[in-house]
Chain A
Amino acid sequence: MRNQEGSSVKEEFLRKWIRGLRRYSCEKKNMSFLERKKAIKLSADLAMASTRDKTIRWSQALIANAASENVCIGSSSAPKKSSRKKKMMLMRRSRARVKSVKKEMSSARCIAKRLMEKRTRKLKNLLPGGESMEDGCLVEETLDYIQSLRDQIEVMRSLLTASQLIINPS
């Protein structure tokens, strides 16, 4: 699907990523290790997402999430943690409720159905913006996401080896 434009996508991704990183380095001079890591990862993710066009949902969702959360690399993560905890509690409660209901249904078909639902839910959680997708769309988006991730990893790895070479000549 995307094989022909593979290299151009990687180039685009790399350029955007480096642009983003440069902006980070300009804004904040001395960043801690974690801050740097977050900056790198975020700019990489955003760059990858921006290479996909508007019709791809996960990329738009990723960008929207980053924009809405107003991710500050150096800010404290305390408010995030509290919201995360609340989310976890809610999830646990809903899951418990679901489990109690589902214990009544025990036929093979229901078990299979439940397994599938569990897995699709897991996949939806993995995919940015995946919660609002139905099955067909979900599979498509996953395909695209996997391809983008692979490109991203390749470029990052090459950059890593390049920078390692520069710094450690031996």
Chain B
Amino acid sequence: MLHCVNMTVLERQQARTRKCHQQDQDQDQDYQRSSLFDVFSSSITMDGYDDSSLHMPVMPPPAPAPSSSSALSRTTTSIAPRVASSLASPTLGKKRKPLTQKVVAGGGGGGEQQSENIKKDKKVKVSGGEEESSKMSEQTNKEEVASAENSKGSSEAQNHKPDYIHVRARRGQATDSHSLAERVRREKISERMKYLQDLVPGCNKITGKAGMLDEIINYVQSLQRQVEFLSMKLAAVNPRLDLNIDDLFAKEVFPACAPNFQSIGMASSSEMSNNPAAAAAYLDFSSVQQLVSCSNGLINNIGMSMNPSPDMGIRKTIAPPLSVSLPETFLDSSSCFTQALPPSIWEGEFQIQNLYNVAFDQPIRTSSFPPSHPFTGLVEASNLKMEMEMEM
């Protein structure tokens, strides 16, 4: 059965090659036979053909090409230079790379398969007077014979062993298992490199693995240096590695600030843009005591820190410009505090203490604030109130 199938493909190949090429046709056919074998092995129609043609490594010179197949060859020739440049792998390209320079420059795009086919063609055509290419043609002849047999074997293997990853060898490409595996591996790598291109900034214009790798290396080094630098700064800021204060804040703060992580690096913004529900979930009630000491400071700090970004306006101006009404509302609806933004800091009995601090600091802070802030603060505080109510 398979033999008949192969026969059919080969017959087709032969017919095509006969039509296609007009110069040095035998070697062309050889290449094309092996290359087209796999392409057409799936779409097979049963025809009766003799056995002998399958095993003949060298075909008789074919007839001149008709228009259709010449068009095919024309398109394939044009593809070659483009794809040739993209083939960077040294392993499979050993025979092809030197010839890429000889390929006639053409336009158009097409399958990689066809280009490789054409490379072989070109190889043959050039081989007229050159030793190198003649050697190569011999090599490719052998390769082609071997690949024809291997492709047969591989197609059988594919039929009989469904557990394996099926790789279809493309037109014009070598079909032994090693090269197939190589190709799969290379394609995997190039796919991952594309991901990396998106990840590493400034890699869009760089084509080619070497340049990309350079960029990646630089980027990784810079990231590692940043980590070092940040850890150094953290060590400088914390004289005692005492993060009890920050960490509790961080716990309640950072989990909820996912949307803001990317946009703003300021801790204050991230803290204040809490998702209230999440903040409540994370809040450790047992550690609220420790929150008091830092919360006072932090609230004041946040209030004081001037940040130009607009969405921080609300958050920033909560503490100092707070009118007395806001703390009262907090006092009134104690239950909703756990769900609201700033009240997440002011838990339970600590509310009062904080409010005292706020109230106490208020006259001091507001004076240092630009006149616009108190008004905006009031407005925004009322907005905040509404937010809280809505979220309740």
Binding site for B on A (CB under 8 A): 1, 6-8, 10-11, 14-15, 18, 21-22, 24-25, 29, 31, 33-34, 36-41, 44-45, 109, 112-113, 115-116, 119-120, 122-123, 126-127, 135-136, 139-140, 142-143, 145-147, 149-150, 152-167, 169-170
Contact = CB atoms under 8 A, between A and B. Distances in A.
User: Could you say which interface size class chain B belongs to?
Assistant: 35 or more
A22 B227 contact: no
B233 interface: yes
Given A135-B185, A136-B192, A160-B237, A149 B223 contact: yes
Given A15-B251, A22-B244, A136-B188, A153 B223 contact: yes
Given A10-B261, A162-B249, A135 B234 contact: no
B255 to A, nearest CB: 4
12 contacts: A36-B235, A112-B90, A115-B210, A119-B213, A135-B189, A142-B216, A146-B216, A153-B230, A158-B266, A160-B234, A162-B253, A166-B297
Contacts of A34: 235
Contact of A119 (B217, B232, B238, B304): B217
A12 to B, nearest CB: 9
Contact of B241 (A39, A150, A153, A162): A39
Given A41-B231, A113-B90, 4 more contacts: A37-B235, A38-B231, A45-B227, A159-B234
Given A155-B254, A170-B304, A40 B234 contact: yes
A162 B254 CA distance: 11
Contacts of B189: 135-136, 139
A166 B235 contact: no
Contacts of A169: 297, 300-301, 304
A7 B233 contact: no
Contacts of B246: 18, 159, 162-163, 166
Interface in B194-239: 195-196, 199-200, 209-210, 213-214, 216-217, 219-221, 223-224, 226-228, 230-238
Contacts of B268: 161-162, 165
B97 to A, nearest CB: 6
Interface of B: 88, 90, 93-94, 97, 185, 188-189, 192-193, 195-196, 199-200, 209-210, 213-214, 216-217, 219-221, 223-224, 226-228, 230-238, 240-247, 249-251, 253-255, 257-258, 261-262, 265-268, 270-271, 294, 297-298, 300-302, 304-305
A110 B64 CA distance: 41
A74 to B, nearest CB: 12
A18 to B, nearest CB: 4
B298 A154 contact: no
